[in-house]
Amino acid sequence: MNWTHEYMRRLTEACDRYERTAPTVRDHCDDLYIRMGETPEQVTLAELLGIAWLWESGDTWPNGNVAANHVYRLRDRLKMDTTGNAGF
């Protein structure tokens, strides 16, 4: 299995995991999944590594508040729109 398929599988898992507890995370992961499939040249390594942080500990995923804060800060650092996202 190539790394992009594994990464996209993890994004799907993140969307499912944070659907109710952190919609900001779900929305970002869903958007990233779509962009990886349609316009991969617009996805940066910094974004890939920033989101991979969610699952790097194996079966221990961060709780919804921590994950949402991480995604907010990642989007802010990457100069992505944070309108409507709660920052902590």
Amino acid letter, 82: T
Overall pTM > 0.75: yes
Note the pLDDT of residue 88.
45
Give the residue among 79, 83, 85, 76 at the shortest CA–CA distance from 26: 85
pLDDT tens by residue, 35-72: 999 999 999 999 999 999 999 877 789 999 999 999 99
Query: Is a pLDDT exceeding 70 seen at residue 86?
Result: no
Note the pLDDT of residue 82.
84
Residue 28, judged by CB atoms within 10 A of its CB (0-12, 13-18, 19+), counts as buried
Note the pLDDT of residue 1.
58
If you average pLDDT over every residue of the chain, what do you get?
Answer: 90
